[in-house]
Amino acid sequence: MTNTMTRKLTLEDIADLRAYEREREAFRSDVIDKRRTRRIALGTLVSLSFENRDTMRYQIQEMIRVEKTMTDEGVLEELNAYNPMIPEAGQLCATLFVELTSEEQVREWLPKLAGLERSISVVLADGSRVPGRIDEKHAAGLTRDDVTAAVHYLVFDFTPAQVAAFDGGDVTVECSLSSYLEVAALSASTKAELLRDLLP
């Protein structure tokens, strides 16, 4: 991974409010389709949405639209927040959601799922595991020993051999937390989409 080939967004990639309104409908439709392919359910309570340059640009554009951000400084704040979730070659990045729909579920499950963010791995056909890691700044703000947060940001770092194994066989995502042992297989369409993130 080299800085010269970075996929990160810059100020020049972010449209101002009027320009974004002109492209928003078509761009939003495209990103919704991509997100459908890039999202997997891990059991009944957890899902992962694998991010890329387009999904993060959409997130930034929508934040700027809602907040009516007009300054470069304001856009740079959003870029600094979301750029870490754009995978470079050899990486996958995912937003992990704990999908709880009632206060009762929140009280029951967030303590039960403590440590969830350190329990997610991509498992390849050759048996190798690629564990998700959490950004330390994010971890400092959101992780505690006795309870988990409803949203986490994970990065999976692949070696070249693991990228080849991802391409060459079945792939699953697994949670190894004892209170939530779950496995989900990637569909062919999801695997093909994520392979674009992994390859240069």
Note whether 166 and 195 are within 8 A (CB). Answer: yes
Between 142 and 193, the more confident residue is 193
**2 inside domain:** no
pLDDT averaged over every residue in the chain: 93
Q: Is the pLDDT of residue 48 over 70?
A: yes
Q: Does some domain include residue 114?
A: yes
pTM over 0.75: yes
On whether residue 164 sits in a domain, the answer given is yes
Q: What is the dihedral of CA 98, 102, 103, 108, to 10 degrees?
A: -60
| The two structure tokens encoding residue 113 | 């799922």
Is residue 87 included in any domain, yes or no? yes
Q: Residue 3's pLDDT is what?
A: 43
Span 44-65, average pLDDT: 97
Is residue 143 over pLDDT 50? yes
Is 98 part of a structural domain of the chain?
A: yes
Q: Are 169 and 37 contacting, i.e. CB atoms less than 8 angstroms apart? A: no
Q: Is 50 exposed, middle or buried (0-12, 13-18, 19+ CB in 10 A)?
A: buried
- C-alpha 137 chain-centroid distance: 16
Residue 1, domain member (yes or no): no
C-alpha span between 14 and 33 (Å, rounded) = 21
User: How many independent structural domains does the chain possess?
Assistant: 1
Which domain covers residue 129, as residue numbers? 7-198
Residue 155 in this model has a pLDDT that exceeds 80: yes
Q: Hey, CA dihedral for 17, 31, 192, 133, is it positive or negative? A: positive
Does residue 2 carry a pLDDT above 80? no
pLDDT confidence bin for 138, thresholds 50/70/90: low
Please, are residues 124 and 162 in contact by the beta-carbon 8 Å criterion? yes
State residue 172's pLDDT score.
Answer: 98
Q: Which of the two residues, 149 and 56, has the higher pLDDT score? A: 56
Q: What is the pLDDT of residue 140?
A: 62
Q: Is residue 104, in this structure, part of any structural domain at all?
A: yes
